[in-house]
Amino acid sequence: MKTRAFWTIAPGVGELRDEALPAPLPDETRIHALASGISRGTEATIFAGHVPSSQFDTMRAPLMAGDFPFPVKYGYALVGRTDVGTRVFVLHPHQAVCNAPAAMCIPLPAALPTHRAVLAANMETALNIAWDAAPLAGERMMVVGAGVVGLLTAWLLARTPGADVAVIDIDPARRSLAEAFGCRFAPPDAAPADRELVVHTSSTEAGLRTALAAAAFEARIIEASWFGDRAPALPLGEAFHARRLRLIASQVGAVSPAMRGRRSHGERLAMALDLLADPVFDRLLDTVVPFADLPRRMPGLLAGGLCHIVTYEE
């Protein structure tokens, strides 16, 4: 049969391509897409052609096609229905109908709305950040960057007993979101000091400087954003050494050592889907775009907002 998929073919340019879809192999499942989520951080970097050549292999998604920099079929947040009617989440690019290894097709909880389920990959990332952060009861915490991953991480950290979690962002409109997620909000120029745990998710040099400036003595700073081929300048010659700060990278491609080997990838995604039961996460869902309009709309979608949703005709 034929299907259509979204490909990035040049910096800032995408198109829908017709593809032949073979019959599923014995260990594969056919999926008819219902919705997919646009991961603004990673997909924006790839769409703009900012993946450094040294990371071409590392940045490959499990079911992507093509090669970096272009053309490439990329994405990892698709919810669809199998031939037997089961709704599943799978790490697949934006595509109308696809085949995927059955082991990668994670059934959705019955009550979980389809659109909210596209947040599963982002929630898995936030879960891994929380594992890397190892929050302690009563710690003063801060998340710099109130995007989807930052807010999901803040929600997880706020469940730590006695935690004081502040969310920092340049957009004052994110205040209501932070508060709905059980955190307080501040702009960068009013960020609280002496934070014992800081998570940075803004992918900006200014955000990382804010994280470093707010860190308490011997604090942990979890760097969870990715700069691609950009090289941020950091003030590591100021109080960085005197305060004995720890700058720790977190990336979901390699699970935190504390949990590595203890949960399979399928188990982690199933956990992420279960964590999305709270309707508060619907506030992270942004513009809904028909799949047919994606090439025209993608540049604007990647320029701002939260989790944009691509919808497909059944």
Spatial CA neighbour of 139 closest among 250, 216, 203, 239: 216
3-state secondary structure of 114: helix
Residue 61, sorted as left (phi over 0), alpha (psi -120 to 50) or beta, turns out to be beta
pLDDT one-digit tens code per residue, 83-117: 999 999 999 999 999 999 999 999 999 999 999 99
d(CA 216, CA 197): 8
* pLDDT recorded at residue 236: 86
Q: How far apart are the first and last CA of the chain?
A: 15
CB 39 within 8 A of CB 122: yes
Q: Quote the tokens at residue 79.
A: 């919810």
Binned at pLDDT 50, 70 and 90, residue 254 comes out as: confident
Q: What is the DSSP letter of 95?
A: B
The CA radius of gyration of the chain, in Å to the nearest whole number, is: 19
- Over 90: is that where the pLDDT of 228 sits? no
pLDDT at 123: 97
Q: Is the pLDDT of residue 64 over 90?
A: yes
Residue-by-residue DSSP string for 233-302? ---TTSSTTTTT-EEEE--TTS--TTTTTTS-HHHHHHHHHHHTTSGGGGGGEEEEEEGGGHHHHHHHHT
Residues paired with residue 18 on neighbouring β-strands, in sequence order: 4
- The single residue listed with the structure tokens 């935690």 is 163
Mean pLDDT across the chain: 95
Handedness of CA 79, 311, 76, 101 (dihedral sign): positive
Q: What is the Cα–Cα distance from 203 to 208, expressed in whole angstroms?
A: 8
Query: What is the phi-psi region of residue 228: left when phi exceeds 0, alpha when psi lies from -120 to 50, beta otherwise?
Result: left
pLDDT surpassing 80 at residue 314: no
The 10s digit of each residue's pLDDT in 265-305 is: 899 999 999 999 999 999 999 999 999 999 999 999 999 99
**In 10 A of CB 14, how many CB atoms?**
23
Write down all domains in the chain, each with its CATH number in brackets: 2-119+276-311 (3.90.180.10), 124-249 (3.40.50.720)
Helix or strand run (H / E) with residue 211: helix 205-214
Q: Which two tokens stand for residue 145?
A: 């960057």
pLDDT, position 238: 81
Tell me which of 51-65, 168-182, 210-224, 275-289 is least confident: 51-65
Gap between the Cα atoms of 264 and 201, Å rounded = 25
